[in-house]
Structure formats: C-alpha cells, structure tokens
Structure 1
Amino acid sequence: MKILETKHFEEILKLFPQLSEFVVKEEDIRFYHEKDKDNNFYQVFGTHFTLEQLNGFIKKYLIDNVRNNLKQSQEPSKLCINVRRGDFYEKGNSSIYGYDQIGFIRHVFEVHLSSSYFQNIKIVSDNMMWCRQELQFLKKYTAELTFPDFQNPVTDSFLEVINSEELILSNSTFSFWAAYISNYMYENTQQTYCPIFGSRKIKNTDLYQTNPNWNIISDFNFNQF
C-alpha cells in the first residue's frame, strides 16, 4: 500500500528519505491500480499495529536519520511540551479538535506533576507567539523555560520533541509519532503524558493512536474551551 504524495511531504521525506517507498506521485497513478476504498487511516494502536511492529518500523526506517540529524552535543530536554495550534484552532475547527490547552497544561502540572521541578522545559508549537504569551506560568516549574525558533519548522521541531526525557503531547499525529520515536530512544513511555481527547468528528472522542502505557489524561474537562 502507498499513499499519495502532497506538498506537506517534502520536508519529511528530506528527513526520512527511506519513506519514499511508501509514497506515490499523482502522475504515477494509473486507473488499474487498486485503491483502498475504506477511507481508513490504520492508526489504531494494538489493532492496526502492535508495539513490536511499531518499534520494528522505527528501527528500519526512522531511527538512524533521527540520530544523524541530532547534534552530538545536543543533550535531551528534561521536558518538552508540544502544543498543536494552527489549523486545529482556525476556521471553526476548534469546535472539532479544540480544548482549553492552557487549562490542560496547568492540570497536568497541578495534578500529575505536582512534585516535579525540571531543569529545563522546552515548548514546541506551530504558533510560538501564542505560546510565549500564554505559557509563562510554567517558569515556576523549571529553572529554564525556552521557546526555540527553528530554521526548518517541520523537521527541526519534530526532532526537538523526540529529543526529550519527558513529554506532554497534543491531540496530534505529529505529537504521537515524535513520542513513538522518543519512547524508542529513551524508554520514556511512562514519562509521556497525553490527552485522552481526540476529535468531536467521531462519536467516541477518545484518541485511538495512544500507547496504553502512556499517562493518558482523562480527568480533565475537554469540552470547556
């Protein structure tokens, strides 16, 4: 099975050129090619793939490129928080994907990390201006709060999330895949915090891509935003 290449693939394929074997250009599609009519994303953890299969895929296609692109002197962050804004909060999409992100992050610290103080916390987002304005309260939980800017926003931010000892995720596949790889590198599955909420497009709004060994945050009101 292959997926149709779009403009969004360009940066990812530069970082992971081996993935090109799973991608097809539109001009190479022929009428006789069999097409998947199920409209299925095949993302259900434990159903469409096992942890063993996931780690095998990471080992074969991803991990070498990650390690080669991380600077040798670059120590992992103590905690990285990935905040998905962008199209999730534009054009009415917040009614589908949105939740109170500030309240959620506060909740994670106050309830699940109440005794923690981090040497450093890095924020990675597709809207760093919003994060700089809204997340300054995190300074009380760390000696160093940073909002790094990236030369290549997609790949550099992806690597930054991967390269962390602990993670707080968003309801985004960008977050999940960074966490999968980070878990493989640092064995930090139990130091990964993820909202249970995914989308209001489906009757059951719970995420289905999550590793069951993550800290799945379900004790927060995701309908208040």
Structure 2
Amino acid sequence: MERWMPLFGDPARELVVDREDVRLTDRRERGLHNEFGPHFDESTLGRFIEGFLEPSGLLDADRVPAGLRLGNDGVVVNVRRGDYVTNESNWRNYGFDVHDYLRVALDRSVAVGGPIRRILVVSDGIEWCKAELGWLSRRCEVLDFEDTGRPPEVHLAVLSHASRLVLTNSTFSYWGGYLSAWRSGRPEQVVAPWFHIRTDLGGAAWQLDPRWSVVEDIPTQWRLPDPQ
C-alpha cells in the first residue's frame, strides 16, 4: 500500500488501517468483499470513482502519454504476468492459455465494437508479450507494446481512458474495466474471461460486471497449459 498511498493522497489514509493500530484482540474478518452484486454495484463504483479516484488526479487524461492514446478503433490488451507465472502456486491457480483466450476475446471485441485498427498491449511482463504475441499483428493494422518502463499508475490511466479493452484474470485488469466502462458508458466494450482462479466457485470470476462482454469458454476450456 505504501507504494500507492502518496498517489491517492491524504483521503486514502481514511480507508486503511495501519499495522500498529491493529490490536491482538481485534476481530479479523476473512474475505475480500469484492463480488460484483452482493458487495458493490455500478452505483457504488460510480460514487467511489467520482468521490475518491477522480479527485486524486490519478486518472487525469494528461497522465496518458500521447502515443498511448487510442481512438474508438483501438483496443488495449492487458496481459497479467508477474507472479502469476513466476510463483508456481499462482501459476497452478490462475494460469490458462492466453493465446487461446485472446483469439476468442478479439473476435468478441470486433463483434461488439467493429474492426480493430490498432492493438496496444500493456503488461507487467511485456518482454514475454513481445516474444509470444506478435501474431496479434494479423488482427489489426498497427500492433504496439508498451515497453517504455512506465509505472503501473500510468498503465492504469491508459486502461481507464481506453474505450475498448481486452482483460485477463487480474484485479488490476478488472479495475481498468470498471474505470473504462464508467468513463465511456459502453461496458459491453470491455471483454473479460469467465475464469479467475481454480480454487473457488469452480473457476468463475465473481468480480465481473455482468454488462461486460464475458468470454464464457475457449477451445482449451481454461485448462492449465504447460508453463510459459
């Protein structure tokens, strides 16, 4: 949290509890309370974005470099790597065939948003994406990879200002989807996988906005591929 607190500003301090303020006898409640519907909804998100995120300036349009701004014929693809693949337990829980999913997801994006001129890949494992996802160039006129080493807050701003998104199964992606849908008013332009993690709800993601374009299945049926 310390990495993000200065970015959100002083109001963020009211939303967190410092470790030294937690007493031994305090009650702990397990759970993330992040299920769309029971725990929050479109209205809740709107109030949080307008009352907390927007005033922080973190999502200002000028945080998005000119070269990373896409029009309505552009799609931002956010691929989660990091400890999803470097940690063996995480890989077993979260891994699926990204190539398989992206083929289906891009078809869905075209179906709901029309032809794709440009694809911009944003990832915490961009070198893998550059090595493995070059085939995306066959799905657009221009393929770009955000490989300039910009920090995650810039990537979040890029996702939030994209009118069309293809997400993977991470909370960073989901927040990009929430913010993009709120800003554009076109939630169906957010394409997300049905799958989140193997250990809960049979794999089904509970964070998804039902207004998104959810990819229910892929040819490999969300099976764990060989390590990538």
Identity within the alignment, %? 27
Provide the C-alpha distance between the structure 2 equivalents of 1:11 and 1:187, rounded to a whole number of angstroms. Answer: 30
Q: How big is each residue's C-alpha offset from its partner over 1:180-212, in whole Å with a ceiling of 9 and x where there is no partner?
A: 111111113010100000101124210000000
Q: Extract unaligned runs of 5+ from structure 1.
A: 1-8
Instruction: Say whether the 8 Å CA contact 2:80–2:169 is kept in structure 1.
Output: yes
SS of residue paired to 2:115: coil
CA distance in 2, matches of 1:61, 1:203: 31
Q: Residue 85 of structure 2 aligns with which residue?
A: 89
Equivalent pair of 1:63/1:181 in contact (CA under 8 Å): no
Deviation at 1:44, TM superposition (A): 0.7
Match of 1:5 in 2: none
With over 3 angstroms needed to count, the CA separation of the structure-2 counterparts of 1:151 and 1:11, relative to structure 1, is: farther
What is the root-mean-square deviation in Å for CA atoms of aligned residues?
A: 2.2
TM-score (norm 1): 0.86
What is the rounded CA distance, in whole Å, between the counterparts of 1:180 and 1:43 in structure 2? 13
Residues 79 and 167 of structure 2 are in contact (CA less than 8 Å); yes or no, is this contact kept in structure 1?
yes
Q: What are the Cα deviations for residues 149-193 of structure 1, in whole angstroms up to 9, with x where unaligned?
A: 344422111112212110001111101111111111111301010
Amino acid at match of 1:47: P
Distance 1:168 1:112, change over 3 A: closer
Residue 150 of structure 1 contacts residue 156 of structure 1 at CA under 8 Å; is this kept in 2?
no
Equivalences for residues 1-225 of structure 1 within 5 A: 9-17=1-9, 18-31=11-24, 34-37=26-29, 39-64=30-55, 65=57, 66-67=59-60, 70-71=63-64, 75-76=69-70, 78-92=74-88, 93-110=90-107, 113=110, 116-220=114-218, 221-225=221-225
Mean alpha-carbon deviation: is it higher for 167-176 or for 215-224? 215-224
Aligned-partner Cα distance in 1 for 2:17–2:148: 29
Distance in 2, Cα, partners of 1:55 & 1:111: 26
Paired amino acid for 2:13 = S
SS in 2 for 1:113: helix
Gap change, CA 1:175 and 1:157, over 3 Å in 2: same
Kept in 1: contact 2:130–2:145 (CA 8 A): yes
CA deviation profile, 1:42-79 (whole Å, cap 9, x unmatched): 01101011211111111100123212652596744521
- Normalised TM-score (structure 2): 0.85
Task: Identify if the C-alpha distance between structure 1 residues 150 and 160 changes in structure 2 by more than 3 Å, giving closer, same or farther.
Answer: farther
Inter-partner Cα distance in structure 2 for 1:15 and 1:69 = 15
